[in-house]
Every structure is written in structure tokens, then in C-alpha cells.
Structure 1
């Protein structure tokens, strides 16, 4: 039946006339009796036959949205296809925001697409942007999209930087920036955060800058209490992490570290060295620290001062590097046997060249032990 529907879409209401085509009667017979009369057969037909939605999705949408005519809808589909959208992307856009197909395309949709092309978006970039957030097409061009874009450009400097920021959070086009971004920027400037760091934070971590000022200021206050230097990069990273965490999530992480024998001071030290340690999963923290404390006898304070190692993959980095460290030490090929932390933090390519390739002839097992890293490193060399 679905194949028939896709092949023969219809655009008029179903009647009980016996001359009604067979595939229309099939659809009519399969619509659940519990559906209310507001479900439009024309809407379902169009969503399936022209927009590429599944019958189930079309039926669900038709409970809330009714297509009164197909003129604007046909124009909408033609406009998207002309701008490079494929059928799958169109189906997603329509399923996400079905009301768009009823808009006057010349007045409501086309000017927005042309705006993005005029400020430097390629068709591919435009397709990616709209497909990731179809609600952009519902935002007012004159009251939201254009003024927000211009405001961001005045702050970030170039259309390219604005496009990067929007790519990281398209909400920048739909929100009142003067209610969040501008007050938060003012807070950072008053703290002495360098302008270029504010720009980078707004460009690459715009979600942090879009938090409500009250929540944002709480994050800033906590960073100040922990002794963060506002002029340093790590302060900006701390802002990004804390602005995205609720108080309950932060407290749960503190409790997790306490359960592993860490003091709050240890945890704050870890956070100051690597703010993203507070975003690592509970399972990963327990597994990695369990290895460090049980196998290597490292104290929480020692790990806290090197907290980035908590984020490493145990199977692909920590375990194979430890085995290689042991092999090299036992064969007298590495003089400093007590420096596994530095061994662990070494950049992957340098580690591969200095400790795998260099000693592979003497210890052939190195390639097998380090096969995960070997494949990645080989790709880097080849490219």
C-alpha cells in the first residue's frame, strides 16, 4: 500500500464514491477508527506522496496540522530542491516544522535563504544549517535573524566567525541576544577577560554565553572562589563547563570524587588543571582512577594535578601504553622507570615514533600491544 501511495499521491478528500481509486480506499480503510475527523486525508497524502514522510509520521502530523491547499506546499518543496536539499532532508524539515509548507514562500522563506547566501554561506552550508535546525525558517528575518547576525558580526568581526558561532549553536539566530549574550559578555569584560578570549568563547562555545545571566554569574562566582585567573584560557574553559552544569550535577560529581577518596580541594585542583574532567562519565572516572590508585599507587592529589589523564581511553591508551612502558623498562630500553605519567601524556604521534617504531625490531610485541594507536598513527603519517 505504501508503495502505491508514494507512486500515486492524491490531493483531494476521500469520499465513499465507489469510483474512488483503490489505493485511496486502502488508505481510508487503514486509518485507525480512533482518529478524529480533523485528520485530513489530503494532508496525509501530500506528506507521504510529495514530502516523503512515512505513513505513521504523516498521520501523527495530520492530527495537529491540516494542509488547506497544495500551492504554497509545492512552492516550498521546489524552493528547497532548487537550493540543494535532498528528499531525506526535506522530509526531516517538514516532519519537524510542518507549518512551513503552508507559508507564503516568496515572502517568508525565500528571503531567508537568500540572506544566508548573501552573507557568504554556500548552498552546502545553507543546507546543513537549515537541516540541523528547521525552526530557523520560522524566525523573523527582520526582527531576529538579520539583527542577530549583524550584532554577532559587530562582536566577532567577520561573517565567517559568525557562521562558526551559529554552526555551534543556531539558537543565536532565534534568541534575544540582548537578554543573555550581551550581559554575559559585559560580565566577562568587567572581570578582565581578554577580548580575544571572549570572542573565542562566543564563537566556539556559544551555548555557554546564551545562559541566563543569573546562572552564568553563579558559574563565574564559583570560578573566582576556586582562584581561577580570568586572563587565562582555562578560565574560559571553566566558564564553558560550569555554565552547562546544574548545581545538582556539579554536587553529584563532587560526591563521586569523595567516594574515591578525594578531598574537595583535590577535585578543585583537578578542575583547575582540566575543567572538562567534570564532564567525564562516572564509569570512566572510576575505571581510570581505579587503575591509577591500585596498580600504580597514585594518590588523588597526584592524579588531580594531571587530571587530563582521567579522560583517556583505558583500552586504547592507558592499558597499551602501560604494557609498553613495562616492556621497555624490563628490557632496559627506558631508563626512567618511574615516569609513567609523562609517558602517558605524550602526544600520540611522538609516542608512536619514539617508543613503538624505535624499539619495534628489539621488541616485536610492541606493534601488537599498541595496534589501536598504531592504526591511528599510521593514518596520520600517510595523510
Structure 2
């Protein structure tokens, strides 16, 4: 098999087999204000980042984020968290939606650190339907006490989340309370099958249905492995 001697440009903005391109990427990141450890973390998490086109990909992403109102220092903070998604054209509209929902970049960064899937999942078919389910049962992701925790189920299948809400109601957790939100998160992560097995274990240990209901209302993490 013969390999081309010239650099190969491909559709998603990579420039391969170019000895100078990594230096350009490193200089670009340094110019944004990323520290050497941050740059190293970016490359370790996404090795192909070093092959991205500065002019067609990285500079374009920075311009798009600037249009959202982000400063260069804020963009520098975002890059290590966004990882490979930073190279995607969908980053700006995704982040615009999250900024609207969570209210600030700091909150968005905390959410993505908690659940990277929030940044990679389909907004229209996954995230928005799940937010509707959460809001209908009184869970506000804008609440500073719960938004990072609740973000862990934002990209779960909507059916799983709906089942988690039903379960939380069955065990008497009060809608709108912090414990209800915790119960929905835990039940949503576990799923029906794993949750049923764990609750059955407690029953075999002698717990009554009332005991389980009380535990879920007061300490929903009891059902979490």
C-alpha cells in the first residue's frame, strides 16, 4: 500500500502528515492563554486535536464562541473540558443552549465535568425531552443545589427518566424537594432492572415496603450501589 507524500486534508478540519501543524496548534493554544499542563491534557484526551487546522477549525470555533459573548480567557477554560467537541461545528449552538438553561459558563463547565455526555448528546431528541420531564415534576436545573447532580441523567433515555419519576412518586418522595431530585437521579442512573434487583435485596434482608419508602424519601442514595 502506498501512502501519499503530500499532506492530506479531510473534511472535518484535520491536516495530517504536516510537521509544522502541531507547532501551529500549540502556539494557538498558548496564545489563548492555556498553560502547558492544560495543553498537555487537551492532547492526551484528544490526540487528533494536534492535527486540527488552526485557520479553518480552531480559529473558527473561537470566533463562534466569541459571538456568544465568551472572552478568550473563558474559551481557554472551555477547551480542556470540551475536549474533542471543541473541533465540532455543533459546539457553539450546543453551548448556547446550555448557557440559556444553566445561566453561566461556570455552571456549564461544572455540568460537563460531571457528565460529558451532556455536551455530546442530541439536544433536540435527548436533552430537551428530558428537561421537559424534569421540569414537569418540579425539578429545576437552574437550582444551584441540584443542577450538577441532575445533569447526570440529562442524556439518559427519556423512557428511563420517566420511569425514574414514577418510581420516586411510588416511594412517596415529595415532588419539588431535594430528596425527590436525588431519587430521580439515582433511579434514572440505575434503570428499572438494576433498581428492582437492589430493592429486592433489601426485602430479602427483612426490609418492609414501608421501610423502603422511608429510606427512599430520606436517603435515596440507599438504593445506589
Same fold (TM over 0.5): yes
Structure 2 matches for 1:1-383, cutoff 5 A? 67-113=16-62, 119-120=69-70, 123=73, 126-127=75-76, 129-140=78-89, 144-191=90-137, 193=138, 197-200=140-143, 201-279=146-224
Partner of 1:245: helix, strand, or coil?
helix
Deviation at 1:230, TM superposition (A): 1.7
Equivalent residues of 2:33, 2:76 under 8 A apart: yes
In our comparison, the structure showing a higher alpha carbon Rg is: 1
Equivalents in 1 of 2:70, 2:114: separation in Å?
A: 17
Give CA-to-partner distance per residue, 1:3-40, whole Å, 9 cap, x none.
Answer: xxxxxxxxxxxxxxxxxxxxxxxxxxxxxxxxx998xx
Equivalent residues of 1:148, 1:173 under 8 A apart: yes
Equivalent residues of 1:113, 1:126 under 8 A apart: yes
Equivalent residues of 1:130, 1:137 under 8 A apart: yes
When residues 176 and 155 of structure 1 are mapped into structure 2, their CA distance, relative to the original with a 3 A threshold, is same
More RCO (CA 8 Å, sep 6+):
2
Deviation at 1:183, TM superposition (A): 1.0
Partner of 2:207: helix, strand, or coil?
coil
**Stretches of structure 2 lacking an aligned partner (at least 5 in a row):** 4-13
Deviation at 1:75, TM superposition (A): 0.8
Q: Which moved more, 1:266-275 or 1:172-181?
A: 172-181
Give CA-to-partner distance per residue, 1:190-245, whole Å, 9 cap, x none.
Answer: 34x16xx3423445431212212111111112122223322322211211111111
Equivalent residues of 1:129, 1:167 under 8 A apart: no
When residues 214 and 121 of structure 1 are mapped into structure 2, their CA distance, relative to the original with a 3 A threshold, is farther
**Stretches of structure 1 lacking an aligned partner (at least 5 in a row):** 1-35, 39-64, 282-383
Equivalents in 1 of 2:112, 2:176: separation in Å?
A: 25
Equivalents in 2 of 1:106, 1:154: separation in Å?
A: 29
When residues 202 and 148 of structure 1 are mapped into structure 2, their CA distance, relative to the original with a 3 A threshold, is farther
Equivalents in 2 of 1:269, 1:122: separation in Å?
A: 50
Equivalents in 1 of 2:86, 2:42: separation in Å?
A: 10
Deviation at 1:115, TM superposition (A): 5.1
CA root-mean-square deviation? 3.2
Equivalents in 1 of 2:107, 2:15: separation in Å?
A: 40
Equivalent residues of 1:67, 1:102 under 8 A apart: yes
When residues 216 and 102 of structure 1 are mapped into structure 2, their CA distance, relative to the original with a 3 A threshold, is same
Equivalents in 2 of 1:268, 1:94: separation in Å?
A: 47
Deviation at 1:83, TM superposition (A): 2.8
